[in-house]
Amino acid sequence: MAERYICIHGHFYQPPRENPWLEEVEFQDSAQPYHDWNERVTAECYAPNAVSRVMDSDWRIIGLINNYSRISFNFGPTLLYWLASHKPKVYESILNADKESMNNFSGHGSAIAQVYNHMIMPLANRRDKETQVKWAIYDFQLRFGRFPEGMWLPETAVDTESLEVLAENNIKFTILSPIQASKMRKIGVEEWVDVSDGKIDPGRAYLCNLPSGKTISLLFFDKRTASDIAFGNLLENGEAFAKKLAGSFNSNGGGALLENVASDGELYGHHHPHGDMTLAYCIYYIVSKDPAKLTNYAEFLEKHPAEYEVQIVENTSWSCMHGVERWRSDCGDNMGHEGWNQKWRKPLREAMDWLRDELAPRFEAEAAKYLKNPWGARNDYVRVILDRSRENIEAFLTEHANRQLSEDEKRRVIKLLEMQRHTMLMYTSCGWFFDEISGIETVQVMMYAARAMQLAKELFDVDLESQYIHLLEEAPSNIAEFQNGAKIYNIFVKPAVVDFTRISAQNTIRELFAENIKTARTTPKMPNCCFKITPEISEKWDDGKFRLIVNRSSVSSSTTLDEQIFSCAAIWLGDHNVTCGVTSDMHKKAFKSMRNKLVGCFDKGQINEIIVWLSRYFGQQNYSLKDLFKDDQRYILEYIVADGLKKAKDLYDIVYHDNSAMLRFMKEIRIPSPKPLQSAAEVVLNMDLERLLSAETTDLERMGRLINDSQHLSVKLDSPLLGFIASEKIAAEFNKLSTDPENLQSLTAITALIRMVKELPLELNLWESQNIAFKIAQSRYQSLKSKSDEASKLWIASFVKLCELIGIRLA
C-alpha cells in the first residue's frame, strides 16, 4: 500500500492597516469591542491556534496543541511586523511552532514565506516582483532564523515570470489551485496530458521547467475539500474533518499519496468561530488514529520529489475565475452586493501604474547621485524597515552609498527609499478585492499613494497629486454621495495626510488633557509610532473653566530622520472648543514674548484676546479636535462628555428606580413596558454592570442583584461589550492566581466570579484563563493530588470545580 500523507496549509494574512504616516493602526469602530481588526482577528484566530483546545464528546478540554506546529502555514510579513510588537506572546508561539515542526517533519519547518505586501505578482513589473520576493526572504530569515523553502503567492496569482523570480531566489516550491495547471507529463515522456479545468491530480508534486533553465516544484491543493472548509460545514466537527481528509485519497498509479488542502488561515477561528478547535481535534484524530501521516510540503518533497512536470495557465489565481481580472477590471467577481459594479478597479489600477512610472525614473536619477545601485539598495532596504535604529541605518548607508554622505544627503536617500516603499505598499491586493472603492481597504492603498506623492513633493517639488486625483475621477463609486475615486480621495485620504506641524499640534492638544486621559482603559500602546516628541518648554494653566498651554518641542521621525522645532499654544474653551496654533518660525525670544502675552491675557480672563493673539502669532491656520488622530480624539471626547454623561445617568437612575417596581409588575402580568421606562432600565443596568466588571474589586452581591433585575425585566444587554470586559476581568484574576496558585481564597473568589458572570447571556473568551489553569494543573494539581492533608484535599476540590466551570477535564 502506498504511503499516505495529509498536509493542511493555512494562509494567515491581514491587509496592512497602519496609518502610513504614524506606522500604527488607529482605532477602527467596526472592530469593536476590540481596538482594531488586527486585535480582533488575533483574539479570534491567531492566538487560539497557538494554544488550541482538544475537546472530548462533552465539550470539555482534554489537551492543548499548537496547531501551527502540525500544519503548513505562512504569515504575511506585514502582519508578523504588527504581531511582534503588539502581541509578542502570540508571535513567539508562531516562531516556536516552526521550530517544533522541524522535529515533527524530518527537519523541515512548517512555515513558508509570503510575497511581502500581498501584491498580485502577474500585474507587477519585474523590478517590483524581485523586490517583493527579496524583502519576503529577508523578513522570513530574520524572524524564523532559516531560509524559506517555499513561498506563498498572494491569491496564488501566478505567471511564468513570477516563478522565475522565485526560482532565481532559491525558492523550492509554491502552492497553486488545480485550475492553474494547463498540462502535465511524466518526466522523460514526450506527450503532454491536458489537465486544464482542474483535472490535475493533487496527490503528488510536480516540477515546472522554466525558460531560464531553472525549475520550481508546484503543489496543487485539493480544491473540492478546500471549498468545503471555506464554504461548507467541514469546520463544524473535527473528527468529520479528519475523516474527510483521510477519505479523499485517489490512487495515482503508484508512489506516495498526498491529500493537501490550502485555505485562508482566518477560517480557523475568525470566519468560523472555534474553527481552531475543529482543526486541533482533526490533528489529534489523525495523529492518534493514524489514517495517514501528517506532513508539510518541504518534507513531502524531500521524500517524494516530483516525477511529473507541469505547465501553468498564465495569469491565474485561486479567487478569480477570470484569472487576475479581479484586480484590474469589472470582471464580475465580487462579494455579492446586488446592483453594484466594479468599474472603478481599472482606473484605480491605471492611476497606481501611472504614479509608479512617474516616480521610478525620478528615484533612479536622484538616487544614483548617492547610491552605487539604486534598485539594489531598494531590494536591501527591508533591513531598515525592520530595524530603524540609527546604527542600522548608518550601516545600510555605508554599504550602499557611492561616497561619504552629508546628514542632509542621508535624509534624502532615506526619503527616496521610503517613497519607493509606499509605491509598493499601494499595490496591496485587498485594495481591489472587494466591491466598493470607498471601502477601508481601497482607501488604505490610496493613503499609501498619498504618502508616496507627499515624499515626491518634498524631494522634487513636483505636484503629482492633481493628475492622480484627475485619473481617479474615472473610477465610479457605487454610493451616490461619493461619486468617484477623486471625491473619495478628497473626503478620506487628504484629511489623513500628516506633516510635522500636525504632529506638533496633536501633541499640544493632547497635553491639554494628559492628566485626564492617562488612565483610559483601552488606550493602546503604539510601539511602532515613528514620531518622537522631545519637549523643551511646556507650561499649562487651568482656572477651572478654561485651559491654556504653551510649549516648544522638537519633533523627529525615525523613518525619514527629519527633525524640526515647533512653538505651539492652545486653549480649551470647554466642550469641544479647542484652538491650537503651531509654527516652526518662532525664535526663543519671540516664544517668550508670546508666552507672556497669552498668560497675561489668561490671568486677566481676557479669553477673546487670546484667540486674537493666537491668530497674530500663528496665522489663520489653526488646529482643533477634528485634527487629532482617532484614538486621542475618542479619549479626549470621552473625558469632555463625562460630566454630561454622569448627569444623564443620574436622571436615568431616578427614572429607573422610581419605576422599577411598576416595571416588574407589568412584566408579571405580561403588559409591555413603556418604551422610555424600558430604555431607562437598559441604560442603568448596562452601565452599572460595565462599571462593576471594570472595577478592581467586584461586588458580587450587587452584581447578583443587577443580574436578577436584568433577567426579570428582559433587559437587552450589550453582550459583546460586557462579554469582552468580563473575559478580561476573569483573565486578570487568573493572572493574579498564577503568582500564588495555592491561595485558596483567590481560587474561591474566581470561582464565585465566573459562576456569577455565567448567569449573564454573554459569550466569554476564556482562552487566556484556560491556558493559566492548564499551567497550574501541570505545576500543582498532580503533586497536591497525591497528598492526604486537609488543605491539599480542599485545594484539589476547589480547583476541580473551577476547571469544570471553564470547561477543563482534569485527568
* For residues 126-154, average pLDDT: 99
Q: Is 150 a member of any domain? A: yes
- Output the average pLDDT for the chain: 95
Supply 799's cell numbers: 480547583
Locate 366 and state its grid cell.
Answer: 536622484
pLDDT value at residue 59:
85
Cα 564 to Cα 566: distance, rounded to the nearest angstrom: 7
Share of the chain above pLDDT 70, in %: 98
CB under 8 Å to 781, separation ≥6 — which residues?
Answer: 796, 799, 810
Same domain, 624 and 761: no
Residue 310 and residue 218 in contact, taking contact as beta carbons nearer than 8 Å = yes
443 touches 492 (CB < 8 A):
yes
Yes or no: say if 129 and 110 are a contact pair by the CB < 8 Å rule. no
Q: How confident is the model at residue 516 (pLDDT cuts 50, 70, 90)?
A: confident
CB neighbourhood size of 590 (10 A): 13
**783 band by pLDDT with thresholds 50, 70 and 90:** confident
Whether 807 is in a domain gets the answer yes
Contacts by 24-32, CB closer than 8 A, 24 or more apart: 24/526, 24/528, 24/529, 25/82, 26/629, 26/630, 26/631, 27/630, 27/631, 27/634, 28/440, 30/440, 32/720, 32/721
Whether residues 473 and 563 share a domain: the answer is: no
pLDDT category, 256, cuts 50, 70, 90? confident
Q: Are strands 531-542 and 547-557 parallel, antiparallel or unpaired?
A: antiparallel
Question: 488561515: which residue's cell?
Answer: 265
pLDDT digits (tens, 9 = 90+) for 744-774: 999 999 999 999 999 999 999 999 999 999 9
207-220, pLDDT tens digit by residue?
999 999 999 999 99
Q: Looking at the domain assignment, is residue 613 inside a domain?
A: yes
Co-location of 316 and 409 in the same domain: no
pLDDT category, 133, cuts 50, 70, 90? very high
Q: Is residue 684 part of a domain?
A: no
Q: Is the pLDDT of residue 199 over 50?
A: yes
Cell, residue 147:
531560509
Stated as kind and residue range, the H or E segment containing 141 is helix 126-144
Cell 476564556 -> residue? 766
Closest C-alpha to 777, from 792, 799, 793:
799
**Number of independent structural domains in the chain:** 4
Query: How large a percentage of the chain has pLDDT more than 90?
Result: 92
Q: How far apart are the first and last CA of the chain?
A: 38
Phi, psi of 732 (to 5 degrees): -65, -40
Residue at which a domain ends, from 584, 613, 640: 640
**Mean predicted confidence (pLDDT) in 1-28:** 94
Around Cβ 196, how many Cβ atoms within 10 Å? Answer: 13
Residues 535 and 421 in one domain: no
Last residue of a domain, one of 470, 496, 522: 496
User: Does residue 277 sit in the same domain as residue 149?
Assistant: yes
**273 and 173 share one domain:** yes
Is the pLDDT at 584 greater than 90? The verdict is: yes
- pLDDT tens column, 171-186: 999 999 999 999 999 9
Q: For the CA atoms of 625, 629, 630, 632, what is the dihedral angle to 10 degrees?
A: -70
pLDDT over threshold 60, residue 411:
yes
C-alpha dihedral over 688, 694, 699, 700, to 10 degrees? 90
Residues 491 and 506 in one domain: no
Predicted confidence at residue 253, as pLDDT, reads: 60
The Cα–Cα gap between 355 and 445 comes to: 13
What are the strands, taking DSSP E only, across 70-143? 72-75, 111-114
Q: Which domain holds residue 801?
A: 718-811
Q: What is the mean pLDDT of residues 11-20?
A: 96
Residue 495 CB: number of other CB atoms within 10 A? 9
Residue 702: inside a domain: no
**Residue where a domain stops, chosen among 327, 359, 374:** 327
Query: Coil, helix or strand for 186?
Result: strand
R_g of the chain, CA atoms, integer Å: 30
List pLDDT tens digits, range 221-243.
999 999 999 999 999 999 999 99
Does 148 lie in the same domain as 201?
A: yes
Which residue is associated with the grid cell 448567569? 759
Looking at the structure, tell me whether residues 489 and 596 fall in a common domain.
no
The pLDDT confidence band at residue 811, using thresholds 50, 70 and 90, is confident
- 661 in any annotated domain: no
76: nearest Cα among 53, 42, 48: 42
pLDDT at 786 exceeding the cut of 90: no
pLDDT at 197: 93
